[in-house]
Structure 1
Amino acid sequence: MRTLNITVDIAVEPDAVMAFAADPRNLPRWAPGFARGIAPEGDEWVVQTEQGPVRLWFTPPNADGILDHVVRLPNGAEIMNTMRVLAHATGSTVSFVLHQHAGMSEAQFAQDAELVRADLLNLKALLED
């Protein structure tokens, strides 16, 4: 299983990036490749995706830049996504660690990487606008 660390620099302070990205209601705005829509259900969120509805929950709000989240697929499999917001001299670096899961081809992994990269660039564009 391979991993790939995908990063984007955003010329916005980490607190502002965290506030926006940690709010699940904003997910369809910055990650349209994943989330077509989202609605709360108990302590989780139901996300409408191209593959159908999935469940999602984030780590509790924190000041450490941790935006990890778990996606539960319709088959019950849970995927842990590691995401961080780190400070640097001119704003923030957002980091997403993409994992190649069992049964995922190289082509699927590459496609996922491009979708994540596009989503992070959307986040950058929204916040820097």
Structure 2
Amino acid sequence: MTSASRYLSERIALPADAVYEFTSAPENLPRWAAGLATTVSKQGDRWVIGDDGAELIFTPRNDFGILDHWVRPPDGAEVYSPMRVIPDGDDAAEVMFTLRRLPGITDDEFERDADLVQADLTRLREVLESAQR
């Protein structure tokens, strides 16, 4: 079964390696990704987000800007989210997120999810660029 996807992105006026460094650290999520996590804690070798104890699993650190991650709620249903940081010249980057439409999601819910992800990406840009001023 295939699902629809929406590709969302934000250009950030910082080098890709700096964007990747900040974005790949799960402890930074509450600063920019409120749509995903308002709290993050390390429990042993696991990252746990939110009050319900969902597990967050990131792709291992890499030189390619890959930030794919999986959210595994306590019920075990896993959600995969592809994400990339790619260079845009030497002094900027584009952060790209693929929002996958889950089974049973209405058009309105999918639009709401897209708006939340875009707001998170915009907040990421604001946080990173304001730190450079």
Identity of aligned residues (%): 42
Q: In the alignment, which residue of structure 2 is the partner of 1:30? A: 32
Unaligned runs of 5+ in 2: none
Aligned residue for 1:117? 118
Normalised by the size of structure 1, how large is the TM-score? 0.94
User: Structure 1 stretches of 5 or more lacking a match?
Assistant: none
Amino acid at match of 2:95: V
Deviation at 1:74, TM superposition (A): 2.5
Per the normalisation by structure 2, the TM-score is 0.91
Partner of 1:71: 71
1:46 to 38, 45, 48: 48
Aligned-residue Cα RMSD (Å) equals: 1.1
Residues 39-96 of structure 1, C-alpha deviation per residue, up to 9 Å, x if partnerless? Answer: 01233211016xx331101011111000000100222111111000000124000000
- Partner of 1:26, secondary structure, is helix
- In 2, Cα distance between equivalents of 1:61 and 1:92: 17
Structure with greater proportional strand content: 1
One-letter amino acid of the counterpart of residue 72, structure 2: R
Count the aligned residue pairs: 127
SS of 2:8's equivalent?
strand
